Structure 1
Amino acid sequence: MDKGQKSAEKESTKGVSAPSFIPQIPSGRNSSQYDVFLSFRGSDTRKAFTDHLYNSLVNIGIVPICVFRDDNNIPIGKEFGSYILDAITCSRILILIISENYASSKWCLRELIHIMDCSKSTSHIVLPIFYKVNPSHVRYLKGSFGEAFHSSKEHFDEKDIQEGQRALSEVSYLNGWESEKFANGHEGELVKKVIKTVLDKLGRDFQLNVTKHLVGICDHVNKIRNWVDTSANDVRMIGIYGMGGIGKTTLAKVIYNGLSNDFEYRSFLSDIRETAHCNGIHHLQNQLIKEIEPTERQIWNVDDGINVIQSRLKGKKALILLDDIDHLNQLNALARDRKWFMTGSTIIVTTRYKAILDQSEFKVDYKYELNELDEVHSLLLFNKHAFHMDHSSREFEDISRGIISTMGGLPLALERANSQFTCGRTVDFIQVRELKN
C-alpha cells in the first residue's frame, strides 16, 4: 500500500462511530450493552448535529442512556473493526446519520451493512436520519452523495462495494427523517423528535421498580387511569392518600409506569418527607430540575428554586410523581401552580394527610383514598411472600390467619411479619403487634 492509500485508509476510519468510553464487549451475541449506537461520518457531523444529538441523549431522562459514539482514541485496524461490529450487535437502537460523505468511508459502509443485517432481527431498532441528503440519492447513488461514494471506490474491497450498495438501497426505503424537510430544517426540533422516539422505544427499560407481589391493585389502577384518560386536554394533579404502609407509593408507581411512554419529560421524587427533613426542600427542587432539564446551576433557596422550575418546565409536557409529602410547603415548592406546566402534564402526589390535598393552591383534580386490604387479599399477599404461592401449607394455615388478623390489611406490615416468619424465628402475636407499630 503506497502513502496515498495509507492516508485514505486512515481517513476512512477517522470519525467512524466508536464508544465514548471503552467497556468490555460481552461475548454473548444477544446481549444489549448499549441503548443507542450512533453511526455517522465524523468529518460531516461530529462537531455539529451528532454532538448535539449525543449530548441530548445522555443528559435526558431519569436513567442515563448509554450511547456508543465517536472517540478518536479507539485503535484502528482489525481490532477496531471487530469492536465496532460487536458494539452494533450489542445495541438496542441503531441511529444512522447518513450525510453527504457517509458512503465515502469504508468503515461507515461496513457499519451500515452490519446494521442492515441486524435490522432483520426483532431485537434491533434502526432509525435513519438523512442529513442534508435525499433518500433517492442514497438509493441510486446520485448527486453529491453518489459522487463521494464513486470517488472513494478505489479504496474499497469489492465485497464492500457490492454489499454497501445493497445496504444503501435498503436503508433508503426505511421510514426515517429528512433533516431539510423536518420542521423546515430546524435541527433542534429534529433532535427533540429523535429523543422522544428513543425514549418511547426504551420506555420499558425506564420503569420504576415495583414489587412482583401485587395484590388487589387492579381496581385502584383502573379507577385512576380513567380519571387521567378523560382529562387529557388540561394539566391535572392526582392525590393518593392513606395511612403509612398502605401501599400508596406502589400504586403511584404502577400508574406512573403505565403513563411514562406518553411523556418525554419525567421525574420521580421519592420519600420527600425524609429528604426534605434531612437535606431541605431546595435539594428536591434541584433533583426535579435535573431530571426535567439538566443544568449546572445549583439551587440554594426555595424561592430561587420556584423561579427556575417555572422557567424549566414551561412548554414541557411532564409526568411527575411526588412521593410521601407531609407538609403543604413541600407541595407548593415543587408544584404550586397549574400554570407552571404545559397542557397534558400529570402530577401524582402521595401523602398520609388529605388536608394537604385540600389546601393545595394547585387545586387537586382527583383525590383517591387507599384503604387497607380485606382479609382475602391480605392472606393472599402474605402467602405470596411467605410461601411463594397463593396459599399456605396446612401446618402453617392457622398461624398465617392469626398473623393476618393481628396485622390488619397493611401491605408493609404484612411484608415485615413475613420476613420474621420466613427467617425461622418464633413469631408470637406480641412480636407481630410490634412490627405493625
Structure 2
Amino acid sequence: MASSSNTKTAYDAFLSFRGADLRKNFVGHLYQALKQKGIHTFRDNEELEKGDEISPVLMKAIEESCIAIIVFSDDYASSRWCLEEVAKIMECREARNLTVLPVFYKVDPREVREGRNSYRRALNKHESKLGENSEKVMRWKKALFAAGNLSGWHLNDGDESELIQGIVIFILTQLCRTPLHVADYPVGIDSQVVKLRRMLNLESTDDVLMMGLWGQGGIGKTTLAKAIYNDVFRLFEGSSFLAHVRENSKNDKDLVALQEKLLNDVLLPGKHLKVPNVDGGKKLIQQRLGRKRVLVVLDDVDDLHQLRALAGKDKWFGDGSRIIVTTRDSHLLTSHEIDRDRVYGVTALNDGKARELLSNYAFPTHQNLKIRTDLVNGVLDHAKGLPLALEVLGSFLCNRGEAEWASTLRRLSRFPNKTINDVLKISYMGLEEDHKEIFLHIACFFKGWKAYYVDEILYSCDFEPTIGLKVLSERSLIKINSGTLEMHDLIRSMGMHIVKQESDDPRRRSRLWLYEDVVDVLSRDMVRFANMIKTLLLIFDSNY
C-alpha cells in the first residue's frame, strides 16, 4: 500500500454522474460552485454512451484525484461506463484512501447498496447480456454496496443550492487537511502501516478505538505515526496530529494550547476557538467532538495528565473515531485502559532495511566514493537497527573517505554521538532516583546476566528490583528475554556515559567497570594506603 504522502494528485475532485439533465442542472451548478472556490475538478465532457470499458483518460483522472464525488441518480446504474467508474473509484479508495463522497440524488441509499428498484432493473439487464455470474457484474454490485454504505448527502425535494454549498464547504475543509512529511527515506514503513491498519479496524464505525505505538527513543514511533496518519486521515470527518506532546505540555498553559489546536484542527480551519483552561478544554472537546468521527494522534506522551487532558475517555469522540498515542512508556497506555492487543511495539530495523537506510543517507546517488564493507558493517553494528542512529551517522559520514569512517568508528567506541545520546537520555531523565541507580547498575555491569541473579544482587543493595526492572522494561530501557537482561548497545553506552560524566577522575565516579580504570584506582589507592601506614609507623616510633 502506498503511503498517502507519495500519491500524486492532479485534481482536487472527480465528478461521476449519469445523464444530460443532471449535467445541465445539479451537476453543472455543483461544478461551477467548486470551480469558483478554486477546487480543480474533473468532469467528463462526453455526453454519449461510451461503451463498456472505462477510458484511460478517466482512469488516470480517478487515480490522480484527491476526492471523488459520485452522484447516484435514478438511471446511474443503467450505464456500464458509470458502473466501471464507481468500481474504479472504490478500488482507489481501498488502495490509496481516495476520499469518496456519495450524493443520493432523488434515490434512497438502500436502492444503491441493496440493488433495489431502478438499480435492480439495470443490473438485471446487464446480467442478461453478460451472464448472471459475470465477474464484471459482481464487481459492480460489490462497488455499489460499498459506496451505498458511505456517509454522504441525500436529496429528495430539498434546496439544491443549499446542498451544493454544503458539499463545497465540506470539500474545502477536506482539502485544508494536508498529509504530513513522513521521512526523507521511509524505509520499512509501508509494511508496518499495513499491520496498523488492521489493528485500527477501520471497517468498524460503532465504537471508539485507542491504540498505542510504544518503543525506545529513536526507534521510529513518530515516523510510523505520521505514515499511518497520512494513510487514513481522509477517511474521517476531522483529524489532528499533535506532535511533541511531552515537550509542549510543561504546564497547564501549554496543555490549553494543545487542546485548542486539537479542536481547531478538527472543527474550524482558518479560525481560532479559544479554550479558557484545561478543565474547560476537556468539556469543549467532549461537546464539540462527541458526535464527530475523528482521527487524533498524540505524539510522544509521557504523563497520564496529558492523556486525560487531550483524550480522557472514548465517549469524548464520535463513533468510529480512532486515537493513536506514541510513547516510551507502555504502562502509561495500559493505565489509560488501552487494550494490550492494541499496543504496537515498534522494533529496530532488520539488517537489510538498516543497510538500505544507512546507504540512503551515507551514499547519495551523486557520490562516487567507495567505502570498505567492514567499515560500513561497523557502523551498522554500532546502530543496531536504530533508525535515528542510522540517519545521524549516515548523514555525518556522507562524502567522507575511508580514513574518516575508521576514525569515526574509533571515536564512537569511546564517546557516544551527542544527538543520539540526547534523545535516548530522555527516557533515563524521567525515572525516579532509585530506578536511575538500577538502570546504571545494569548498563555498567549486568547486561546479559540472568534477571533472577541481578534481582538478588540489587535487593542486597537495598533496592526494590521487582518494580524497578518492570519500570525499566515499560520505559523501553531494558528487555527481559527468556529470563536474561537485554539492553540496546546505544542505551548501554548512554548509561556508561552518564557515569563517566560524574568526574574526569575515575576514583570519584560511582561505578568502575573498565579493567584499566579499576587497576589505576586500586594501584593509586595501594600507594596511598602504604604511605599512610608508613606515616603511622613513624608517628608510633617517635612516641616510643
TM-score range, shorter chain: 0.5 to 0.7
The reply on whether 1:316 has 2:292 as its aligned counterpart is yes
The answer to whether the 8 A contact 1:207-1:257 is kept is yes
Q: Counterparts in 2 of 1:331-410, with a 5 A limit?
A: 331-361=307-337, 366-388=342-364, 395-410=371-386
- Secondary structure in 2 aligned to 1:326? coil
Q: Which runs of 5+ in 2 are unaligned?
A: 1-8, 15-28, 47-56, 76-101, 109-153, 422-544
- Secondary structure in 2 aligned to 1:227? helix
Higher Cα Rg: structure 1 or 2? 2
Separation in 2, partners of 1:423, 1:344 = 49
The answer to whether the 8 A contact 2:208-2:322 is kept is yes
Separation in 2, partners of 1:415, 1:196 = 39
Structure number with the bigger relative contact order (C-alpha 8 A, sep ≥ 6) is 1
Identical positions, percent: 32
Separation in 1, partners of 2:256, 2:158 = 36
- Secondary structure in 1 aligned to 2:249? helix
Report the alpha carbon displacement of residue 381 of structure 1 after superposing the two structures with TM.
1.2
The answer to whether the 8 A contact 2:182-2:227 is kept is yes
TM-score by length of structure 1 reads 0.57
Report the alpha carbon displacement of residue 258 of structure 1 after superposing the two structures with TM.
1.8
Residue 394 and residue 362 in structure 1: after superposition, are their counterparts in 2 closer, same or farther (change >3 A)?
closer
- The aligned residue for residue 117 of structure 1 is none
Separation in 2, partners of 1:420, 1:287 = 35
Report the alpha carbon displacement of residue 209 of structure 1 after superposing the two structures with TM.
1.3
Separation in 2, partners of 1:365, 1:317 = 22
- Secondary structure in 2 aligned to 1:240? strand
Q: Counterparts in 2 of 1:248-327, with a 5 A limit?
A: 248-277=221-250, 280-294=254-268, 296-327=272-303
Residue 344 and residue 230 in structure 1: after superposition, are their counterparts in 2 closer, same or farther (change >3 A)?
closer
The answer to whether the 8 A contact 2:35-2:41 is kept is no
Residue 375 and residue 211 in structure 1: after superposition, are their counterparts in 2 closer, same or farther (change >3 A)?
same
Separation in 2, partners of 1:280, 1:352 = 21
The reply on whether 1:220 has 2:168 as its aligned counterpart is no
Residue 264 and residue 230 in structure 1: after superposition, are their counterparts in 2 closer, same or farther (change >3 A)?
closer
The reply on whether 1:246 has 2:194 as its aligned counterpart is no
Report the alpha carbon displacement of residue 293 of structure 1 after superposing the two structures with TM.
0.7
- The aligned residue for residue 92 of structure 1 is 40
Q: Which runs of 5+ in 1 are unaligned?
A: 1-30, 38-48, 55-66, 71-86, 96-111, 114-119, 130-134, 136-174
The answer to whether the 8 A contact 1:183-1:190 is kept is no
Report the alpha carbon displacement of residue 227 of structure 1 after superposing the two structures with TM.
1.7
Report the alpha carbon displacement of residue 225 of structure 1 after superposing the two structures with TM.
1.7
User: Residue deviations 1:295-342, cap 9 Å, x none?
Assistant: 643113110100111111121111111111111111111111111111
Report the alpha carbon displacement of residue 370 of structure 1 after superposing the two structures with TM.
1.0
- Secondary structure in 1 aligned to 2:376? helix
The Cα RMSD (Å) is 4.5
The reply on whether 1:210 has 2:182 as its aligned counterpart is yes
The reply on whether 1:414 has 2:390 as its aligned counterpart is yes
| Number of aligned positions between the proteins | 303
Residue 190 and residue 361 in structure 1: after superposition, are their counterparts in 2 closer, same or farther (change >3 A)?
farther
The answer to whether the 8 A contact 1:128-1:176 is kept is yes
Paired amino acid for 1:383: S
User: Residue deviations 1:120-142, cap 9 Å, x none?
Assistant: 8755979699xxxxx9xxxxxxx
- Aligned match for 2:305, one of 308, 329, 341: 329
- Aligned match for 1:234, one of 207, 210, 221: 207
Residue 378 and residue 284 in structure 1: after superposition, are their counterparts in 2 closer, same or farther (change >3 A)?
same
The reply on whether 1:434 has 2:417 as its aligned counterpart is yes
TM-score by length of structure 2 reads 0.47
Separation in 1, partners of 2:214, 2:239 = 22
User: Residue deviations 1:184-207, cap 9 Å, x none?
Assistant: 55667665555556777x69x822
Separation in 2, partners of 1:331, 1:411 = 27
Paired amino acid for 2:236: F
Separation in 2, partners of 1:282, 1:208 = 23
Paired amino acid for 2:354: S
- The aligned residue for residue 170 of structure 1 is none
The answer to whether the 8 A contact 1:237-1:365 is kept is no
Paired amino acid for 1:254: A
The answer to whether the 8 A contact 2:369-2:399 is kept is no
Residue 434 and residue 290 in structure 1: after superposition, are their counterparts in 2 closer, same or farther (change >3 A)?
same
Separation in 2, partners of 1:189, 1:68 = 16
Separation in 1, partners of 2:342, 2:318 = 18
